[in-house]
Amino acid sequence: MEKTIDDLVEKKERIYFYIASVISVIIYGLIIKFSLPTMGNFAVILLVMKILHGLYIGHIRQNAVKISKKQFADIYEIVEDYSTKLQLEKVPEVYILQSNGILNAFATRFLSVNFVVLHSDILELAYDNGKDAVKFIIAHELGHLKRKHIQKNMLTSMAMIVPFLGSAYSRACETTCDNIASYLAHENPTRGLLVLLAGKKLYGKVDLKEFLEKAEEEREFWSIFSEITSSHPSLSSRLKKIQQPNSGNNTEISEKNES
């Protein structure tokens, strides 16, 4: 059954987004009203951040491999396919970055261009053991672009000073992207997270049921406290969630009801 984006968005994401936006706008308003000198400092900080971000994007463009129809065409095909299914306006620029064993991927945006950076070890995994894990990771990052999380972070940034609110919003966004990824990469959605859990060599040996049972047994105050102060849900929470049937027929995701 085809799903809408609405079906895949974590309900708390919208609630936390509205709360964080209102608080953030109030704080921006207070800064403007009462402390114009601070506004000047604030503008300088934003400018410095923009310049640093630009430098980083410039570094990526010259020191990472951009995938295309001629370069890692099979990976590009996945990106193109999921971008179409998510009805993204444009296929993002995707780069492979050598990262000395770090398993990571992230989505970013600079001067209205969307980027996804995949660390090279994740791609090595795809060529060694099949593309299921990589499909999940790509779909997750495209989910951030679909939901415009990067642009929204600009609006909500001031509310991040409220304890727990920023991390709660971030975790809800991550859950949304896991939902999107497990819908699109539905053949084997747990693989992408098992790689982050156990690494690219051992992930196939993890007994998921045993891991989840032990994590549940050991879930006590400090585990919960650690999770609620983190930007991402724990891997045990994420794996438990995407294990639940969420897959459709991997067709496009309808725009209906999106907000």
- Residue 93 or 174: the one with the smaller Cβ distance to Zn ion is 174
- Residue 66 or 232: the one with the smaller Cβ distance to Zn ion is 232
**Minimal distance in Å, beta carbon 32 to Zn ion?**
32
**Minimal distance in Å, beta carbon 179 to Zn ion?**
12
- Residue 67 or 177: the one with the smaller Cβ distance to Zn ion is 177
Output the DSSP codes for 126-156: HHHH-SHHHHHHHHHHHHHHHTTHHHHHHHH
- Residue 100 · residue 108 · CB < 8 Å: no
- Residue 177 or 242: the one with the smaller Cβ distance to Zn ion is 177
The residues, ordered by sequence, that sit 6+ positions from 1 with a Cβ below 8 Å of its Cβ are 248, 249
**DSSP symbol at 117:** E
**Minimal distance in Å, beta carbon 70 to Zn ion?**
28
**Minimal distance in Å, beta carbon 29 to Zn ion?**
30
The residues facing 108 across adjacent strands are: 115
Tokens encoding 46? 């934003």
Binding site residues, Zn ion, CB under 5 A:
174, 177
Q: Helix/strand/coil (H, E, C) string of 58-127?
A: HHHHHHCEECCCCCCHHHHHHHHHHHHHCCCCCCCEEEEECCCCCCCEEEEEECCEEEEEEEHHHHHHHH
- Residue 132 or 174: the one with the smaller Cβ distance to Zn ion is 174
**Minimal distance in Å, beta carbon 144 to Zn ion?**
6
